[in-house]
Structure 1
Amino acid sequence: MLTAGRYTFWNSLIDYKFVTADLSKIEITEDISKALYSNMQLRQYIRTFEVAAFEKAIMIVNDTFVKILEHGTYHFWKNEQTIKIAKADMRQLQLEVAGQELLTKDKATVRINFYAQFKVTDVETALMHNKDYEKQLYTILQLALRAFVGAYTLDELLEQKETIATAVLEDVKTQAQKLGVIVLHSGIRDVILPGDMKDIMNQVLIAHKKAQANVVTRREETASTRSLLNTAKLMEDNSMLFKLKEMEYVEKIADKIGEITVAGNGNVIEQLKDIFSVNK
C-alpha cells in the first residue's frame, strides 16, 4: 500500500502492477480484488457495512439520503465524508400491547392484553420520514384500543369482545401506511377484570343460571300438572280406566308390602277389595 509520494523500483526485474485509488470519493470503483479488503494495510482505508439477509437499509451520505441497500456486504473508502446505514427488519414482526388498563363507557376498569403482527413495506418511509416507527405504531394501537373500549359499556364490551381486534385493525391501517408498515393481523389475548368486578360477574352468572333452572323446573311442573289434569278428566268419564289406574296403584302398594294376613271366614276377594278400596 503506497501513499502519496514518489517511489523508485528496479525496471524489468519484477513485473509490477499499480492501481491508483481516489480516496476522496466513497465508492470503490477501482479494479481491486475484494480478497485484499481484509489486508491489514488496506483495511485502514476501507469501511465495511453488513446488511443481513432479512434486512434492508438506507444509505445516508453527509446527512443526505442516497439509496436503499439490499442484503449483502458493502465497502466504501474511508474519508472525511460521513456514511450512515440505517437498517429495518423486513420479516413479519409482532408488537405486544400488554396490560392496558382502560375505562369502559360506564367507568368500569378492564385490563386488556393485545397484539398486532406487522411488516415493513416501505423502508425509506419507515426510516427516513419517521423516528422509531415501532413506538409510533404501538401508540397508534394503544389509542385505537382505548377509543374502542371507551365507546361501550362493560356488558356491551364483553358481548362484542371478538370484534375488538377487527375494529382496531381497520382503524389503524391508514396511519400504519404513513409509517411505511402494514398491519397484517391483530388479536386480543385476555380481557381481565379486577377482583371485585370478577366477584360481581360471578354472582350475576350464578343468579342467571338459577333463574334458568327455576324456569325449567316451573315448565316441568306445569307439564306434569297438565298431564295429571288430563288423566283425571279421562278417568272421570271412563270408569274402566279409573279401575285400571286403581289396580296400577294397588300393584305399586303391594310391591312394598312383605306379607298380608286375611282373618275370618268371609270372602278373601272381598276382604282384599276392602283393604285397597279407594273411595271415588
Structure 2
Amino acid sequence: MKYVIKTQECGYLFKNGILKKILFAGKYRILSMSGWELKITEMTGKVDTKGLPTELLMEQPDFVSRVVRVQIPDDCIGFHLVNGVYKQVIMEGEALYWNVFEKNEIRLVNVTGTEMTEAQVPAMYRHLIPSRLYKRLSVGEGETGLLYIDGRFEKQLSSGTYFYWIYAHEVSMKLYSLKVQQLEISGQEILTSDKVGVRLNILCSYRITRPLELVQKTDNVANLLYTRIQLLAREYIGGFRLDELLAQKEEIGRFLMKQIQGVQEEYCVEILNTGIKDIILPGEIRDIMNTVLVAEKKAQANVIMRREEVASTRSLLNTAKLMEENKVLYRLKELEYLERICDRVGSISLNGAGSVLEQLAALALPKG
C-alpha cells in the first residue's frame, strides 16, 4: 500500500505492533499483509503518541531531536511559549511538544514563594494562571496596606497592585486609608446645669498617621474616638447653662478639640478639627425662644420707627424755620406745591390779585 507523508507530518512504522522506525516526508510502500503498519501524525503542537509510551518514542534519536519534553514538578507550573509568546499554563505532569515548525518552550515557575515578580511572570500574562494559585492585592491612592504572610507581618505596601502566590502560604492584607476622615457623633442627649435636655451633633476630622502601630492597638480607631469624644462632651458640656451653651458654642468646640488632641499620639492619628455641628433643643424650649426672639425683633422695630418719626418731625421743624426766615425759600416751596397740583388738575383760572397759594386754597374750599 502506498503512503505519502507530507512535510509537516511523520509516521510511526510498526511491524506486528512493534515500533520499528519513525518516517518523515516522502513516499512509501508498506506491505500491510506482512504485518507492517504506518500511523501518520502532524509535527505541530502537542505530540500525538498514538497510544505509544513516551519512553518508547524517546528511544528514537530522530524523535528526540524534534521534540521538547519537560516534567512539571508538584511545586511548579509550566508556561508554554510558542515562538516566544505565552500561550497557556501547564499545571502538572509532562509536557511534550513538537519543536520543528514552531519553537515550543516550557518555562518552569516555582509557586512556593511569596511575591510574584515581573521577572517570573510578566503582568500581561498573569491572567493565564488559575486564580486558586495567587492573590491579587490592590492599594489605592491615599491608602496603605499591611501585608501578612502566614499570619506574620511582612511589610507595608504603598499604592499599587501586587500579586502573591498562595500555593504554599496564607496571604492577607489590612487596608488603611491615610486620607482625612470625618467622624460624626450624633444625637448625644445631654442635660445642662439648668436641667434642660439638649441633643448635640459633634464632628471630628482626623487622619491615620501610623497604621502599623495602630493595628497592634485596635481594629477600629473610629470607635475609640467616638467613645472618647462622647465622654468628654457629656462631662464638660453638662456644666453649662443653656444660654451659656448657645453663646459659647465655638469655645466649647475648641476645648473638645484640645482635649482629644491630647490622645492623638496614643491612637496613632492626627486630629484636624473638632466642633459642635448642631444644638437641637426640645420643642417647648424652641417655642419659648421663638417667642422671645419675636418680641425682641418687635421691640427693635418699634425703636427704629420712633427714631424715624423723631427724625422726620425734626426735619419738618427745621424746614419750617428756614421758610419762616427766608421768603424766597417760602416762595419756591409754593411753586413746588403748585407744580404738584397742576399735574393732577386739567385747568385752573387765577386772577392777578392775592397770593397764588391763597387763591388755590380758595378754590379748594367748598362754596357755602
**TM-score normalised by L of structure 1:** 0.66
Matched, 1:91 2:91: no
Q: Which has the higher strand share?
A: 2
Matched, 1:47 2:135: yes
Give the whole-Å Cα distance in 2 for the aligned partners of 1:211 and 1:103: 32
Going from structure 1 to structure 2, the CA distance change for 1:84 and 1:128 (only over 3 Å counts) comes to farther
Give the whole-Å Cα distance in 1 for the aligned partners of 2:95 and 2:300: 103
Matched, 1:57 2:163: no
Matched, 1:116 2:178: no
Matched, 1:148 2:236: yes
Partner in structure 1 of residue 113 of structure 2: 25
- Alignment counterpart, residue 279 of structure 2, candidates 169, 177, 191: 191
1:5, distance to aligned residue in structure 2 (A): 3.9
1:109 counterpart letter in structure 2: G
Local SS of the residue matching 2:186 = strand
Of structures 1 and 2, the one scoring higher in RCO (CA 8 A, sep 6+) is: 1
Give the whole-Å Cα distance in 2 for the aligned partners of 1:128 and 1:58: 12
Going from structure 1 to structure 2, the CA distance change for 1:178 and 1:19 (only over 3 Å counts) comes to farther
- Alignment counterpart, residue 164 of structure 1, candidates 252, 263, 275: 252
- Alignment counterpart, residue 127 of structure 2, candidates 32, 35, 38: 38
Spell out structure 1 runs of 4+ moving beyond 6 A.
Answer: 203-213
User: Per-residue displacement from partner, 1:79-117 (whole Å, max 9, x unpaired)?
Assistant: 242211111122212111122111223332111121111
- Alignment counterpart, residue 163 of structure 2, candidates 75, 94, 100: 75
CA contact 1:99–1:112 (8 Å) conserved in 2: yes
Matched, 1:105 2:166: no
User: Per-residue displacement from partner, 1:185-223 (whole Å, max 9, x unpaired)?
Assistant: 12222222212333454566688899999xx9xxxxxxx
Write out aligned runs for 1:261-272 (5 A).
Answer: none
Aligned length: 215
Give the whole-Å Cα distance in 2 for the aligned partners of 1:116 and 1:170: 12
Give the whole-Å Cα distance in 1 for the aligned partners of 2:148 and 2:217: 13
| Alignment gaps of 5+ in structure 1 | 217-280
Give the whole-Å Cα distance in 2 for the aligned partners of 1:209 and 1:4: 88
Rg (Cα) greater in structure: 2
CA contact 1:110–1:193 (8 Å) conserved in 2: yes
1:188 counterpart letter in structure 2: I
Q: Which has the higher helix share?
A: 1
Give the whole-Å Cα distance in 2 for the aligned partners of 1:7 and 1:162: 75
Give the whole-Å Cα distance in 1 for the aligned partners of 2:191 and 2:203: 19
Give the whole-Å Cα distance in 2 for the aligned partners of 1:152 and 1:183: 25
1:114 counterpart letter in structure 2: I
Partner in structure 1 of residue 217 of structure 2: 129
1:36, distance to aligned residue in structure 2 (A): 1.0
**TM-score normalised by L of structure 2:** 0.51
1:189 counterpart letter in structure 2: K
CA contact 2:98–2:104 (8 Å) conserved in 1: no
- The alignment yields a C-alpha RMSD, in angstroms, of 3.1
Give the whole-Å Cα distance in 1 for the aligned partners of 2:263 and 2:236: 16
CA contact 2:256–2:275 (8 Å) conserved in 1: no
**Aligned residues with identical type, % of pairs:** 31
Give the whole-Å Cα distance in 2 for the aligned partners of 1:212 and 1:31: 82
- Alignment counterpart, residue 173 of structure 1, candidates 256, 261, 273: 261
Give the whole-Å Cα distance in 2 for the aligned partners of 1:79 and 1:65: 19
| Alignment gaps of 5+ in structure 2 | 1-88, 304-368
Give the whole-Å Cα distance in 1 for the aligned partners of 2:213 and 2:287: 49
1:38, distance to aligned residue in structure 2 (A): 0.9
